[in-house]
Amino acid sequence: MKRLSWDQYFMAQSHLLASRSTCKRLVVGATIVRDKRIIAGGYNGSISGGVHCIDEGCYMIDGHCARTIHAEMNAILQCAKFGESTDGAEIYVTHYPCIQCCKAIIQAGIRSVYYAKDYKNHPYAAELFQMAKVKVQKVPFDNFFELKEEDLSEKQVAYISELFKRLENSGAGKEEMQDLHDQAEKLFSRGG
């Protein structure tokens, strides 16, 4: 059996966190890690106790959902709330951070950003990361499925199936789910 790399493990955690998202427009998860230990996680959604986009629709202002707090910000705020330092930490995000999250990541002292999917990658965010000497690296989520069928036990197959089920039940987009199912089918098919 092939063991997951740390990057794959933490990225898988971020995708699982994304399954808690309450915004219909984009499902995002973020995991903050220091010394190979998860110190916080976040997903995009409304404020605690607030109305959720999945219940009443997105509250759009200038093309953005004003109701939603981004996953990266939720993870950083969780560290602040519980007194966990982010200085020198790493963050694993399902999608490339927006400019506002980029600035928060830099100000929080996070030194490395790993993301799975490109999403409106703004050149200014890239410039800010470079100026602040923050390492940015793409870690595609499909790396999680590099295991061959014969390398998987029944428990592992059940776990992966449950992960798909949770992502789907929590509102992961049809396009994203279809892409993940297609990739899994190719990887797990006989001779694939």
Residue 64 parent element (H or E): strand 64-65
**40/91 Cα distance (integer angstroms):** 9
Out of 56, 72, 90, 154, the active site residue is: 72
Contact (Cβ atoms closer than 8 angstroms) between residue 75 and residue 91: yes
What is the DSSP pairing of strand 135-138 with strand 112-117? parallel
Q: Which of 86, 65, 87, 66 is nearest to 77 (CA)?
A: 86
Contact between 108 and 85 under an 8 Å Cβ cutoff? The reply is no
99 by DSSP, 3-state: which? helix
Question: Quick check: 44 and 26 in contact, CB under 8 A?
Answer: yes
Is 149 annotated in the active site?
A: no
Catalytic residues: 72
